[in-house]
Amino acid sequence: MEVLREVLIKKFTQAIREGNAGIFAGAGLSRASGYVDWKNLLRPLAKNVKLDIEKEKDYLSVAQYCRNESGSRGSINQEILNAFNAEVGENENVEIIARLPISTYWTTNYDKLIEKELEKQNRKVDVKMDSDQLSTTLANRDAVVYKMHGDVDHPAKAVLTKDDYVLYDNKRPLFRTILKGDLISKKLLFIGFSFEDPNLDYILGQIHALLDENVAEHYCFFRRVQESDYDDDKDYGYEKARQELRAKDLARYGIQTVFVDDYPEITDILRDIESAVKRNNVLISGSADDYAGWGRDKAEELAGKISEALVKNNFKITSGFGLGIGSSVINGALTEIYRNKYKHTDEYLCLRPFPQGIKDATERQKVFTQYRKDMISDTGVAIFLFGNKKDPTDSSKIINAPGCREEFSVARDNKNIIIPIGSTGFMAKEIFDEVKANMDDYKYLEKYMDALETENNVDKLVEIVIAIVKE
């Protein structure tokens, strides 16, 4: 059954937020980096046994024939080593899925693309390629990668031939058990997967037999059969009908198909998913030594109520604990967390107080800039209010906070949704004026600009902020 792109983005993003999402990667994901797929891996082996790989559909049998003819796995092992130790290029799809806050990755690939990219993202990876590894857990892991068909470093154990599949339950019995659990309890997104794998067919069939139609919902990508791919209209019609039937059949197992006309669309969808995930994380930026016409109590009420309302609407707040604002942000968030969110503080509040005690001004600025970039990189919305501090050279003077300005610049470069509450004055007003002068870049604020500039009613401002982030 076909599912719309927008539905996939919405539902999979929600699964990520709830911690119930996983990725299942097939050979198509690695092919964009320059690795071969199953067919091209077997091409030289097929030639050795006088088979034309272009005429073959049953690649399992081809691999088995090669094994039978050679009398050992040596040639197969060598081909795996040659194919998956080659230098490859960057792969944006792999980069995105590694950045997503997902902890479960399944793959039938032998290469190390996923685990290496996770490590680049400073995530501690627990790789499982043998059954005996499944009984142990790497301490403080951020993600687990299940390589259910083995790894390039151990080609003799790679699953490739008919015999390997027949003996799978003897050699890797727990992989199927764990995958069954994830297929039942999580939403998996299949990327680069053809669904020709006998292992997955077997597992899906068992789950369907146990749960009937009460299976979890998963998603996969298929490139739509294109008329331009065929010289004969009958061939095109046949393959189109076959693909539609395949999609309907996958729906029996809860796997919904998202059709794309070309593979770059998959990258676009993954980007949209990442953006949607980030937009659930909201930075509240601001500081105050002077509350001007607001007064301290009203200013703290505004910061607290914005924070409380965001948590109530299931957004996660990031705060640098700005002077005069940070405590109210925390108090507002905790009020709602303890009232209705089962005390799940980490799910709704991320505190990032700045490092202290760096005496050298140049070094301090360098550290603070990097710290701000790291803090904002995982957010998708930035709210600015007040933004002032005492002049370091004259404590009797109040200046607009340069740190707040820098956070705006970083958030803008990060393509965050920007919400400057100009009516609070100071740096927030300066940011508001810049946004107003460049409205083509901030069209989502058009109907709210007058209120953001002049409104000083706390409840009305909270209502506006929530309306913007929800849109």
* Strands 388-391 and 394-400, bridge-based pairing: antiparallel
* pTM for this prediction: 0.90
> Is residue 218 within 8 Å of 255, Cβ to Cβ?
yes
Could you check whether 5-35+86-276 and 279-470 share the same CATH topology? Answer: yes
- Per-residue burial over 317-327, b if 16 or more Cβ lie within 10 Å, else e, is bbbbebbbbbe
Closest CA to 148 of 191, 178, 123, 124: 178
Please state at what angle helix 296-312 crosses helix 326-340, rounded to 10 degrees.
Answer: 40
pLDDT in tens, 227-250: 998 999 999 999 999 999 999 999
Is residue 173 scored above 80 in pLDDT? yes
pLDDT in tens, 111-150: 999 999 999 999 999 999 999 999 999 999 999 999 999 9
Domain ranges of the chain: 5-35+86-276, 279-470
Measured CA to CA, the distance from residue 105 to residue 148 in angstroms comes to 11
Closest CA to 322 of 299, 292, 338: 299
Q: 463: burial class by Cβ within 10 Å (0-12, 13-18, 19+)?
A: middle
For 162-188, what is the mean pLDDT?
91
Is residue 310 scored above 70 in pLDDT? yes
Give 196's pLDDT tier (boundaries 50, 70, 90). Answer: confident
Closest CA to 105 of 150, 143, 159, 151: 143
Residues taking part in catalysis: 149
* Fold annotation for 5-35+86-276: Rossmann fold (3.40.50)
For 215-230, what is the mean pLDDT?
92
* Sign of the Cα pseudo-torsion (305, 308, 312, 315, in order): positive
Closest CA to 118 of 146, 132, 138, 99: 99
Closest CA to 146 of 119, 193, 182: 182
Give 446's pLDDT tier (boundaries 50, 70, 90). Answer: very high
> Is residue 148 within 8 Å of 175, Cβ to Cβ?
yes
For 166-181, what is the mean pLDDT?
89
pLDDT in tens, 317-376: 999 999 999 999 999 999 999 999 988 999 999 999 999 889 899 999 999 999 999 999
Pick the CATH number of 279-470 from 3.30.420.40, 3.90.1150.10, 2.60.40.10, 3.40.50.450: 3.40.50.450
Is residue 1 scored above 70 in pLDDT? no
Choice among 194-198, 265-269, 273-277 with the minimum mean pLDDT: 194-198
